[in-house]
Amino acid sequence: MIKNLLLVFIGGGLGSSLRFIISKYLNASSLIPYGTFLVNILGSLLLGLILGWAIKSNTLNSPMNLILGIGFCGGFTTFSTFSFENYSLIKSGDFVSFAIYFLGTIILGFLAILIGVLISRLF
């Protein structure tokens, strides 16, 4: 159990650090938080690849899934930041950016998971 917690901890720290770097540079330059958008879509694609491969190879409980799937993707993506940024867009009255960001993230995030799972079936 301690080993599994450590793997999740390491993956989560790496994912959170990378999310911070990407968001710091991409969110500062526009009204729509492109950094958070990018990490959530990329994280969804990566999670789809990881879980698709794990299901295919029957290795859902492997250390690689703990460090990459739960740890890295969990730390890299962020629902709470996404939610707060949507709140901020609504509060500022920018309903167009809200709609683009909200719907784009939900739809593309789901499609990214689907594409990741489908790609993993090819290998």
Q: Which amino acid is at 109?
A: G
Place of tokens 């879980």: 51
Cα-only R_g, the chain: 16
Q: What is the pLDDT of residues 50-70, one digit of tens each?
A: 999 999 998 888 899 999 999
pTM: 0.90
Q: What is the pLDDT of residues 7-17, one digit of tens each?
A: 999 999 999 99
Residue ranges per domain, the chain?
Answer: 2-122
Q: How far apart are CA 31 and CA 33, in angstroms?
A: 6
Low-confidence residues of the chain, pLDDT below 70? none
Q: Tell me, what's the pLDDT at 82?
A: 96
Return the pLDDT at 120.
95
